[in-house]
Amino acid sequence: MRYAEPITDRTSRDGSVGLVVLLALALAVAAVGLAMVSREVAEPFVLAILAALAVVGVFCLFAGAVGILYFGQRHERNDLTKAFVDNLPHGALIGDATGRVFYANRAYRDLLGLDTEAPVPSPDRAFGGNPYLAEPIFRLARAAQQGRALKEEFRLPPPGEVDEESAIEPRWFRISVQPMPPDPGSGRKGQLTVWQVDEVTQDRAREETSFAKVQAAIDYLDNAPAGFFTADADGHIEYLNATLAQWLKLDLTEIAAKPLDLSQIMSKDNAALLAGAGRGDSQGPGGGQGTVRRFDMDLLRTDGTTLPVRVLHRLPRGNQLALILILNRGPGEAQEAGTAELRSTRMFQSSPFGIATVDSDGAVSETNAAFSRMFGAGADAGGGKTKLETLVDEGNRADLRKALDAALAGQGMIEPIEVTFAGPEPRTGRIYLSSIADENDKSEAAIVYALDTTEQHELEVQFAQSQKMQAVGQLAGGIAHDFNNMLTAIIGFSDFLLLNHRPTDPAFQDIMNIKQNANRAAGLVRQLLAFSRQQTLRPQVLQLGDVLSELSILLDRLLGENVELSLDTAGDLWPVKADLHQFEQVIINLAVNARDAMPEGGKLAIRTANVAEAQSREVGGSEMPPGEYVMIEVRDTGTGMTEEVKQKIFEPFFSTKEIGRGTGLGLSTVYGIVKQTGGYVYVDSEVGEGTAMRVFLPRYVEGTTKIDQEPAKLERKPEKPKDLTGSGTLLLVEDEDAVRSFAARALGTRGYEVLEASTGAEALEVLEEHGGKVDLVVSDVVMPEMDGPTLLKELRKKLPDIKIVFMSGYAEDAFKRNLDENETFTFLQKPFDLKTLAATVKSALEG
């Protein structure tokens, strides 16, 4: 087979005759020059020239042997690639930004109808003279100049066309432009452009033919004697024919402007049924993708009335639309009455929710098994003896009667009624009512659907309690943050007063009392932070058996002589990951509460056990996900609690103790610590039988998280006196005036130059005024306009190596997630005193 030859090919690099002439002239000049000197002088130069030519000759021989140089006819490189481009079915051209053409294949000439000897223009010049193509050609030429890839498709009208009925068919072209960086070995500078031209006239003709067929099918569907619509898996109607729109009294122009959902033409249950089938569910007979399912249901007209229809629903394959055919039921379906009645009866009796029919007087006439089981034998009396209202609590009867009257009047889309079932047991439910459009049979005027929602209601109550606890926790955290600011100022200024008073001064003891009570208040604030889960934790791997054994000595002293303590720890107890000090606080708080619940003395038993995943499903309820846990149970023989008290025991400041005997923060602290650790706490108590508090902590599996293996110590070693003075420029950012005033004064007395700012934006301005010459930034976290983490990000843009100390009443982890992953900073927990502030700043400056 003979390959097609390109009509233009300037890609080969030719030799230069000028270089050959220049080389010959140089040799001639050298020969003349040597001939004019003596033999003794010329001989060394002649030998040198001959040696150089010999070296060049030897090099050329080796270069020819290895293929660097070619002798005789030159061989083209990349012959296979070039042959491929030469024989492409569409036109290809390579040119530069000036319009010079380096290559064009044969198909390009044929598509443009160029003569063999005519110069080959680029596509922008070949089509540029046609006024119909001015815009697409301009866009292509501009993309070529800017080095961008672009594709355009346009219609080329036949010569002399004046109207749409020209005898000559127009041609369609698809032209693309793509930049091609130059080959460094070619020696050619500047970026090249690849043009591809293809005629797509036949493709366009096929598309127009297909579109005409689709339009004809749509016209047929619009005038079909049956309703038809398509819907996606989410229940959005994509197409609805005119027949169905007429049945439902819909305006097609309004539908085009605002698409419909299934829930607008049928009940929510039927819409969910079709939408669920549209996702390819295989429920029921005939399920599966690509099959057809049949439903009998009621559609809703715009006037609120119902239209009984039969729906043929074709399940989609993959991402296709669901095809739904609507048949208006007529007398012709009476032949299927026997089969339909049998099928309906089976579905009626096997339904998992209660179904009943009521007559025009509101009396129950027929029920299924689930309805009888839900309301008892009295509901299945039949014969119109049992009124529907008598099956619910008296407080719900008026609403139920109103909905029943609407159903008897033939209305659709009746809202469900939330009721409490009549009976000794407190059970809740939801009742739906649907009208029966049958004027000839008054014994069945409406259908009742009843769902038992007792379990759902209990879950909602638990969720509401959880939401309430979360809201109270957020409130407690906010209060704790504000109190920490005030306590920081009180403690700080108390330190200033103590510096100016000796222990023998009369006011010294008063100032000490102020500071001590402020520290006590700080302890209460820490408990609030524990409840709101905003305290700083230092988790580590713990063996709870060893921790409880060491803690039992302290518990003996706390419980006193009237309470007998017993400790039962499992030998193979799984490890957990928790903060040692906070876990000890949990056990101490539970033990103290148990002691106070036994004023006459009693027994306190602490027991630990492993809880496997299967057991966790039984003891944890719906709140605790299944998994492996370690349980710590604290059981007492005290007075116990009522149900009302159990609902509130974890709320802050709730206490059943006498005034002055407790703050009401003990169990709320337990709740917060356990939740922040990832665990769960449950209470089991009966009045007069005692109380059992059970804490479940997730089992720690080695290797899941990086941890600190060193156990924390209970005792604190006394700190050695340090020189807390220093030097340098500090930028103090704090929106609370009292805290900022104390901190600035404290750091100033320690030798630092302190620049003050009340907001993050003001801090950036102060930094700009001082030319960025700041050694350390001491900033609050929560501030108006710009918080601490945002301020740090802005500072990093100007001073990448700036050091920062964050002050906050919240936990370190509460704002650390808002910083970059590898961000480094020093954290100072509020409230703090003068010494802690000075030590933290000096430590941060020293790195």
Summarize pLDDT for 670-684 with one digit per residue, the tens.
Answer: 877 788 788 888 888
pLDDT greater than 70 at residue 536: no
Which residue among 496, 521, 546 closes a domain? Answer: 521
Per-residue CA distances from 816 to 455, 677, 811, 819 (Å): 40, 17, 9, 5
What's the alpha-carbon Rg for the chain, to the nearest Å?
A: 45
| Alpha helix positions (H), 367-424 | 369-375, 397-408
Nearest Cα to Cα of residue 544 among 536, 535, 552, 533: 552
Q: Is the domain of 686 the same as that of 547?
A: yes
Tell me what the mean pLDDT of segment 685-710 comes to.
Answer: 73
141 and 249 belong to one structural domain: no
Rounded to 5°, the CA angle 497-499-500 comes to 70
pLDDT value at 349 more than 70: no
pLDDT at 73 over 50: no
d(CA 720, CA 580): 25
For residues 120-130, b (16+ Cβ closer than 10 Å) or e, as one string? bbbbbebbbee
Any domain includes 164? no
| Spatial CA neighbour of 630 closest among 684, 670, 577, 708 | 577
- Closest by CA to 737, choosing from 780, 697, 693, 695, is 780
Q: How far apart are the C-alpha atoms of 374 and 429, rounded to whole Å?
A: 10
Helix 788-798, helix 760-769: angle, nearest 10: 20
Share above pLDDT 70 across residues of the chain, in percent, rounded to a whole number:
74
User: Could you tell me the two tokens for 146?
Assistant: 């800017």
Which one is predicted more confidently, 451 or 342?
Answer: 451
262 in Cβ contact with 275 (< 8 Å): yes
**Final residue of a domain: which of 431, 453, 475?**
453
* Residue 119, domain member (yes or no): yes
Return the CATH number at 315.
Answer: 3.30.450.20
Query: What tokens does 125 get?
Result: 């010049």
Same domain, yes or no: 402 and 437: yes
User: What is the Cα–Cα distance from 135 to 541, expressed in whole angstroms?
Assistant: 72
For residues 574-602, average pLDDT: 84
Asked whether residue 15 is assigned to any structural domain, the reply reads no
Q: Say if 340 falls within a structural domain.
A: no
* pLDDT at residue 334 in the model: 43
Confidence of residue 483 (pLDDT cuts 50, 70, 90): confident
249 vs 379 pLDDT, higher one: 249
User: Range with the lowest mean pLDDT among 191-195, 211-215, 219-223?
Assistant: 219-223
Write the DSSP assignment of 687-705 as a string of letters: TTTEEEEEEEEEBP-TTSS
pLDDT at 280: 43
Query: Among residues 453, 468, 494, which one ends one of the domains?
Result: 453
pLDDT at residue number 123: 85
Range of the domain at 690: 534-698
720: confidence class by pLDDT, cuts 50, 70, 90: very low
Interstrand relation of 91-96 and 101-104 (parallel, antiparallel or unpaired): antiparallel
Please check whether residues 544 and 674 belong to one and the same domain: yes
DSSP one-letter code for 623: T
In the predicted structure, residue 482 carries a pLDDT above the cut 70: yes
Q: What is the pLDDT of residue 553?
A: 78
Q: Is the peptide bond before 831 cis (omega within 30 degrees of 0)?
A: yes
The domain spanning residue 786 has which CATH number? 3.40.50.2300
Same domain, 685 and 542: yes
Name the amino acid, one letter, at 201. T
Pairing of strands 680-686, 690-698: antiparallel
State the SS3 of 293-326.
Answer: EEEEEEEECCCCCEEEEEEEEECCCCCCCEEEEE
Helix, strand or coil, per DSSP, at residue 394: helix
Does pLDDT of 534 surpass 60?
no
| Residue 337 domain flag | no
Which CATH number characterizes residue 662's domain?
3.30.565.10
CB 698 within 8 Å of CB 722: no
* 444 secondary structure, DSSP code: -
Residue 163 maps to a domain: no
- Evaluate whether residue 710 is within a structural domain: no
The whole-angstrom separation of Cα 482 and Cα 780 is: 12
Confidence of residue 622 (pLDDT cuts 50, 70, 90): low
User: In whole angstroms, how far apart are CA 325 and each of 237, 280, 292, 329?
Assistant: 13, 17, 10, 12
As a whole number of Å, the end-to-end CA separation of the chain is: 79
Model confidence over 258-313: pLDDT tens digits?
Answer: 778 888 888 776 676 666 554 444 433 344 555 676 666 778 888 888 777 777 87
Q: Amino acid identity of 663?
A: T
What integer is the mean pLDDT of 84-111? 84
603 shares its domain with 635: yes
Distance of CA 788 to the CA centre of its chain: 25
Q: What's the distance, CA 609 to chain centroid?
A: 37
544 in the same domain as 692: yes
Cα atoms found within 13 Å of the Cα of residue 441, Cβ hemisphere only: 11
DSSP of 125-177, one letter per residue? HHSTT-GGGHHHHHHHHHHHHHT--EEEEEEEPPTT--STT-SSPPEEEEEEE
pLDDT category at 696 given cuts 50, 70, 90 is very high
Q: What is the mean pLDDT of the chain?
A: 76
CA distance 226 to 220: 11
Domains of the chain: total: 7
Q: Provide the pLDDT confidence category of residue 717 given band limits of 50, 70 and 90.
A: very low
Q: Do 677 and 742 have their domain in common?
A: no
Same domain, 427 and 511: no
Q: Does residue 686 share a domain with residue 573?
A: yes
Q: What is the pLDDT of residue 777?
A: 92
The answer to whether residue 688 sits within a structural domain is: yes
Which of residues 35 and 778 earns the better pLDDT score?
A: 778
Task: Tell me the one-letter amino acid at 757.
Answer: A
> Are residues 506 and 540 located together in one domain of the fold?
no
- Of the listed ranges 38-52, 62-76, 197-211, 803-817, the least confidently predicted one is 62-76
Instruction: Tell me if 247 sits within 8 A of 307, measured CB to CB.
Output: yes
Q: Residue 788: pLDDT band by 50, 70, 90 thresholds?
A: confident
Same domain flag for 689 and 563: yes
Cβ atoms within 10 Å, residue 285: 9
Q: What's the DSSP call for residue 826?
A: E
